[in-house]
Structure 1
Amino acid sequence: MSEVKIYRVSGEMMLSHDRFPEWRKFTVYVRAVKPEHALEKVYSDLGGRHKLKRYHIRIKEVKEVSIEEVDDLSIVRLSMLTKWVKP
């Protein structure tokens, strides 16, 4: 089984593309097995949350980072889990 890693994905997204287009920078931490999977997760999350198409998202960098560099508490807590317990 493959090891899950943490990736920092940064880039730009176009907000309010219909009225006053504006490119905003973003940085997102994602847990994934491969960089390609992290990229797909970011496209899916940003597209669903902000109603963006893929061409409204420009990815600048996908980089594997250590847990000490992550400032998203939910990603840190997920990485520290050792097992799942079903109720």
Structure 2
Amino acid sequence: MSEIKYYLIKGTALFGESHYPERRKFVKVIRALNEKQATEYIYSYFGSKNKIKRYNIKIEEIRELKEEEVIDKRVKEIGKLEKIIV
């Protein structure tokens, strides 16, 4: 079984494509099994939350982080959970 890792993803996305297009930078720390899954998460996240198309998202850097390097408390705490009950 694969181990879940932390990834730092940096890039730009085109917000407000139809009215006033503006390219903004983003930095996101997520948990994923591999880089491909991390990339898919970014595309689906921005697509669902902001209605941004995949071709308007440019990922510039994907870097694996060690647990000590993670700054975001929420991501770190979720990584410590053994199971989630919904």
> What TM-score do you get using the length of structure 1 for normalisation?
0.90
Where does the alignment leave 5 or more consecutive residues of structure 1 unmatched?
none
Residue 34 of structure 1 corresponds to which residue in structure 2?
34
Residue 14 of structure 2 corresponds to which residue in structure 1?
14
Distance 2:85 2:62 in 1: 33
Are 1:76 and 2:39 matched, yes or no? no
Change beyond 3 A, Cα 1:72–1:51: same
Deviations, residues 10-57 of structure 1 (Å, cap 9, x unaligned): 100001111121100000111001100000001101111101110110
What root-mean-square deviation, in Å, do the aligned CA atoms of Structure 1 and Structure 2 show? 1.5
Which aligned runs of 4 or more in structure 1 are off by greater than 2 angstroms? none
How many aligned residue pairs are there? Answer: 86
Residue 56 of structure 1 corresponds to which residue in structure 2?
56
Are 1:44 and 2:35 matched, yes or no? no
Where does the alignment leave 5 or more consecutive residues of structure 2 unmatched?
none
SS of 2:75's partner is: helix
> What TM-score do you get using the length of structure 2 for normalisation?
0.91
Distance 2:56 2:84 in 1: 39
* Matched letter for residue 58 of structure 2: R
State the identity as a percent.
Answer: 36
Distance 2:21 2:9 in 1: 22
Distance 1:85 1:30 in 2: 17
Change beyond 3 A, Cα 1:84–1:23: same
SS of 1:11's partner is: strand
SS of 1:84's partner is: coil
